[in-house]
Amino acid sequence: DAGITQSPRYKITETGRQVTLMCHQTWSHSYMFWYRQDLGHGLRLIYYSAAADITDKGEVPDGYVVSRSKTENFPLTLESATRSQTSVYFCASSEYTGFWLQPQHFGDGTRLSIL
Amino acid sequence: QKEVEQDPGPLSVPEGAIVSLNCTYSNSAFQYFMWYRQYSRKGPELLMYTYSSGNKEDGRFTAQVDKSSKYISLFIRDSQPSDSATYLCAMSLDGGSNYKLTFGKGTLLTVNP
């Protein structure tokens, strides 16, 4: 009963470095999402994917890149990390049943600090 | 005006109390309403999911939606220390666009034994 697994759980890096956060789900859900959670802002959508090789921007996509070559994986890359990207990142997944998208299920997050 | 307003608390209650958590929203087109519970250093966990106005009950939890007032509530009966968490409301326009959830900022609840 793995569900959604995010790795690493904690990461410290420096400004300008590239960092990739991993997300893996075992449900074969078609939709996957990346959020960041910050004090004062709540959860904000970064990118989402409706299926393998289909991705789209959310509310705060700048500075992030995603890919989805396999249904079960949805990595998030910060190409050149900035301090403003220090946050807790959550991956989520959901299944589209034909006429509605089921509520999203979340992983336990990656706590990222950029020095 | 923010789309979804949620009192951040913190809210502290004794064990056994009835807890009322609330969100107001400005977009009258929202139709799907969710409550998530988030324990410290964990991801949000879906608690309740309702469509349009009305009540939905699940054990000690009751979700209430009043679309005329643009107000949703989550009631917790016989609250337990294990209910101590942050509660997030979320809503979306329709089932097909559920990918776009609008979240409240969360209310921190502590239930004291």
CA dihedral sign of residues A94, B65, B76, B22: positive
CB of A44 within 8 A of CB of A106? no
Identity of the residue in A48, A102, A107 whose CB atom sits nearest the CB atom of B43: A107
Segment A69-93, tens digit of pLDDT: 999 999 999 999 999 999 999 999 9
pLDDT at res. B97: 64
Segment B55-105, tens digit of pLDDT: 999 999 999 999 999 999 999 999 999 999 999 999 988 766 667 889 999
Identity of the residue in A48, A58, A106 whose CB atom sits nearest the CB atom of B44: A106
pLDDT at res. A100: 72
pLDDT at res. B51: 83
Structure-block tokens of residue A64: 């992030």
CB of A41 within 8 A of CB of B2? no
**B88 vs A43: CB contact, 8 Å cut-off?**
yes
Least confident piece of the model among A95-99, B7-11, B38-42, B44-48: A95-99
Tell me the pLDDT band of A112, cut-offs 50, 70 and 90: very high
pLDDT at res. A73: 97
Beta bridge partners of A78: A19, A64
Helices and strands in chain A: count of H runs, count of E runs:
0, 11
In this prediction, residues B25-34 reach a mean pLDDT of: 91
CA atoms within 13 A on the CB side of A113: 5
Interface size A-B, in CB pairs within 8 Å, comes to 56
**B46 vs A105: CB contact, 8 Å cut-off?**
yes
Radius of gyration of chain B (CA): 13
CA dihedral sign of residues A4, A38, B63, B60: positive
In this prediction, residues A9-20 reach a mean pLDDT of: 97
Q: Which helix (H) or strand (E) holds B36?
A: strand B32-38
pLDDT at res. B42: 95
Query: Does residue A94 have a pLDDT over 70?
Result: yes
Query: Does residue A1 have a pLDDT over 60?
Result: no
In this prediction, residues A7-33 reach a mean pLDDT of: 96
pLDDT at res. B98: 65
Chain B residues with beta carbon closer than 8 angstroms to that of A99: 95-96
Cβ under 8 Å to B: A residues 30-89: 31, 33, 40-43, 45, 48, 50, 58
Mean pLDDT (chain B, rounded): 91
Tell me the pLDDT band of A103, cut-offs 50, 70 and 90: confident
**A100 vs B42: CB contact, 8 Å cut-off?**
no
Closest residue on chain A to B107 (Cα): A42
Identity of the residue in A33, A99, A108 whose CB atom sits nearest the CB atom of B42: A108
pLDDT at res. B45: 95
Radius of gyration of chain A (CA): 13
CB of B63 within 8 A of CB of B35? yes
